[in-house]
Chains A and B, each alone.
Chain A
Amino acid sequence: MIEINHASKWYGDFQVLDDCTTHVAKGEVVVVCGPSGSGKSTLIKCVNGLEAIGSGDINVDGLKVNGRKTNLNKLRSRIGMVFQSFELFPHMSVLDNVMLGQLKVLKRSSDEAQQRATLLLDQVGLSEHAGKYPAQLSGGQQQRVAIARGLAMDPIAMLFDEPTSALDPEMINDVLDVMVDLAQDGMTMMVVTHEMGFAQKVADRIVFMDEGKIVEDSPKDEFFKAQGSERAKEFLSKILTH
């Protein structure tokens, strides 16, 4: 489904991605972790073309993301993305946030879009907040709306860029619960996160990045049992001490 082959990227002289190769199969959940500045977020943003790669290539569902002729807008409409800072549209109600893409991109009728949005808001446990504005919701609620917004496009895969890093501890679980449900329903997911509990529960594979390189890419059980690299060992021992 998602194939990243030898992707590299530079910001001026600074190399953010260094020959990254990994694949996410249909229905697979891949967790990407690693220290700050290791290029995780950049990598995931390259998957739907929000950032361009310098060399290598990325294919999603057989379409080349960095191809000249690729209709990126169309490709993006089929990949849901959830951001660290939610990025709900502040001037629209929750319902309108979940309907906007359906109306303007998928050209659904407003009845159909509203039905779908209502269903999804129910699924993430927020149906009673449909008429509110993002600023009237808590962070956890906003992030669940953002997930519903992504799902409303009936995506073939969902990308999560540190979806719980900006949340109060109490709200993290509400968001993770929704993500676990999604994973168990068979959604293809690529998740940048430090939530190792989530990884242990639903991930199929763990990708560990450091300094722009993919240092480890192994099945979950293998990764948690014995890390192949010193760097991953050190990282895990630091985040799992408490």
Chain B
Amino acid sequence: MNYNWDWGILFREPYFDWLVEGLMWTVSLSLCAWVIAFALGSVLGIMRSCSSRPLQLIATVYVELFRNVPLLVQLFLWYFVFPELLPDDAGRWVKREMPMPALTTAIIAIGLYTASRVCEQVRSGIAAVGIGQRNAGKAIGMNEWQVYRYILLPNAFRIIIPPLTSEFLTIFKNSSLALTIGVVELTAMTRQIEEYTFQGFEAFTAATVIYSVVTFTVMLLMRVVERRIRIPGMIATS
């Protein structure tokens, strides 16, 4: 193989700045999408496990809809198809006038998709806490919301920290799909460096290392969180 290695390229301007900027977009995109996914997913998880049939049904339909369509297809649907279905003015606003249309669309699409997965984690967490705890809460006269607020959710979220962590790591990695609708995040920047310099090996190695460092940091952080909220007397799971 005839290849001129040049690791220095990564630290030269403007390429170093590109990587930093790409990482910034990746992180902001992931965090914003996660806020949507976590908030909506939690609400849906509660709905799916609650006693109201209509709420259960709505949440179930949501999950089946969003979980079963590939994320890439969903991104394209939100970006290319959705604005066309709106009335003219609204469609134009979504396509052009909305602040950062590509980024906003990516955040919403990835957030809504991941919400369906978070919903299932939350639901299984609540199920794991068990009917006995639900009954114990009801037996002292708490209403359903109180049972969730004070008993089911505090225990369920403790149980599902590990799967929720991997869900966040997945959102972080899925954010790279946003490049397909023109968000210049870390992967897009890496490709751009490759196109400008033909140093593809270095560029993609850099991306790999950056993604890994971030995910690894998140993992360590969540382990600390898990340890800090552990219930005294319970046997540690990790």
- A residues contacting B by CB (< 8 A) are 45, 48, 50, 73-81, 83, 85, 87-91, 100-101, 104-105, 132-137, 149-150, 153
Per the bound structure, the CA–CA distance linking A203 and B213 in Å amounts to: 67
Instruction: Contact check, A77 vs B140: say whether CB atoms are below 8 A apart.
Output: yes
Can you identify 10 A-B contacts, CB atoms within 8 angstroms?
A77-B140, A81-B135, A85-B132, A90-B155, A91-B154, A100-B150, A104-B146, A132-B232, A133-B233, A153-B141
Q: Which of A73, A80, A87 contacts B142 (CB 8 A)?
A: A73
**What 1/0 mask marks residues of chain B from 199 to 238 whose CB sits below 8 Å from any chain A CB?**
0000000000000000000000000000000011110000
Instruction: Contact check, B140 vs A101: say whether CB atoms are below 8 A apart.
Output: yes
Look across to chain B and name the residue whose beta carbon is closest to the beta carbon of A136: B233
A156 to chain B, nearest CB (A): 12
Instruction: Contact check, A104 vs B139: say whether CB atoms are below 8 A apart.
Output: no
**What 1/0 mask marks residues of chain B from 141 to 167 whose CB sits below 8 Å from any chain A CB?**
111001000110011001000000000
Q: Which of B133, B143, B150, B232 contacts A133 (CB 8 A)?
A: B232
- B residues contacting A by CB (< 8 A) are 132-133, 135-143, 146, 150-151, 154-155, 158, 231-234
Look across to chain A and name the residue whose beta carbon is closest to the beta carbon of B233: A135
Look across to chain B and name the residue whose beta carbon is closest to the beta carbon of A48: B139
Instruction: Contact check, B138 vs A105: say whether CB atoms are below 8 A apart.
Output: no
Number of A-B contacts (CB under 8 A): 77
Instruction: Contact check, A104 vs B233: say whether CB atoms are below 8 A apart.
Output: no
Instruction: Contact check, B155 vs A76: say whether CB atoms are below 8 A apart.
Output: no
Q: Which of B137, B140, B234 contacts A90 (CB 8 A)?
A: B234
Instruction: Contact check, B231 vs A133: say whether CB atoms are below 8 A apart.
Output: yes
With known contacts A87-B132, A89-B133, A81–B139 Cβ distance under 8 A: yes
A104 to chain B, nearest CB (A): 6
Instruction: Contact check, B133 vs A50: say whether CB atoms are below 8 A apart.
Output: no
Q: Which chain B positions have C-beta within 8 A of A87?
A: 132-133, 135-136
Per the bound structure, the CA–CA distance linking A75 and B233 in Å amounts to: 34
Q: Which of B141, B146, B158, B231 contacts A135 (CB 8 A)?
A: B231
Instruction: Contact check, B151 vs A89: say whether CB atoms are below 8 A apart.
Output: yes
Per the bound structure, the CA–CA distance linking A100 and B140 in Å amounts to: 9
Instruction: Contact check, B132 vs A76: say whether CB atoms are below 8 A apart.
Output: no
Instruction: Contact check, B140 vs A105: say whether CB atoms are below 8 A apart.
Output: yes
A100 to chain B, nearest CB (A): 6
Q: Which chain A positions have C-beta within 8 A of B158?
A: 91
Per the bound structure, the CA–CA distance linking A45 and B155 in Å amounts to: 24
Q: Which chain B positions have C-beta within 8 A of A83?
A: 132, 135-136, 139
